[in-house]
Amino acid sequence: MYVSDQAQVVSTQNYDIDPALAVAVVPNAIMAHIALTRAISMSAGESVLVHGALGGLAAAFPGIARQLGASRVVGTVRSERTGAAAASRLPYDTVVDSAQLPDVLGGEKFDVIVDPVGGLVRTHSLDLLAPSGRLLLVGNASGDRDHRIDGNRIWQGNITVAGFNAGAYIPAHPEAVQPAAEAALKAVVGGLADIEIEVLPLADAATAHEQLENHATAGRIVLAP
């Protein structure tokens, strides 16, 4: 794992990790660890909901949450991805259809909600937070740039809303990388980020992009020389 500052480099030499898995999973697991431990300070015993549960960054959160002692981890996906979610080896207790939120969860509330989706899913998240819950914003895959959440609901519910943008956070807090990288490597070795990896030759880059655009893969694609 290489970053600009040599002091932040963590070797994979003593970890039995397939290189493709390291490339596809470890960087996102590092970001998930930093987000959960520093942006919102998740505690052991808390429940976690992850939207976009199979997404590149989102898929790293269940394993890191488990490593940090989460009592329950639930994911949400779009209707067409429920089959892939059911076959996933990621450590979710269950994965539900985001189109059926919030009713599909039967009144269950969560201490922490991770939202890389935005839009209507973000609004539903306010209904799914436990008292004094925390909503962690890590993306806007919906593309809904005009969406807003009600500040009065945040105030009245004692809700904390925190944003985590790795591109801005890590340069400002470089000391966070090394401990997060060590935790991420341990999580991957422990099977907490076990996701399907498809390795394609670099010459098939166009095919890889097509598969990603068509959501034709349930895991990750790595290009190799």
Nearest Cα to 54, choosing from 18, 23, 24? 24
Instruction: Say what the pTM is.
Output: 0.88
For residue 10, pLDDT beyond 90: no
Amino acid making up residue 124: H
| 125 or 218, higher pLDDT | 125
- Domain residue ranges in the chain: 6-194, 198-225
pLDDT tens sequence across 32-71: 999 999 999 999 999 999 999 988 899 999 999 999 999 9
Fold of 6-194: Rossmann fold (3.40.50)
Per-residue H/E/C for 95-163 = EEEHHHCCHHHCCCCEEEEEECCCCHHHHHHHHHEEEEEEEEECCCCCCCCCCCCCHHHHHHCCCEEEE
Q: In whole angstroms, what is the distance from residue 138 CA to residue 57 CA?
A: 9
pLDDT, tens digit (0-9, with 9 covering 90-100), for 119-176: 999 999 999 999 999 999 999 988 888 888 889 989 998 999 999 999 999 999 999 9
Distance of CA 110 to the CA centre of its chain: 16
64 neighbors 58 (Cβ within 8 angstroms): no
Q: Please tell me the distance from the alpha carbon of residue 225 to that of residue 110, in angstroms, as a whole number.
A: 43
**CA distances to 57, 84, 147, 187, 215 from 195, in Å:** 12, 11, 32, 12, 15
- CA distances 176 to 8, 30, 140, Å, are 9, 9, 24
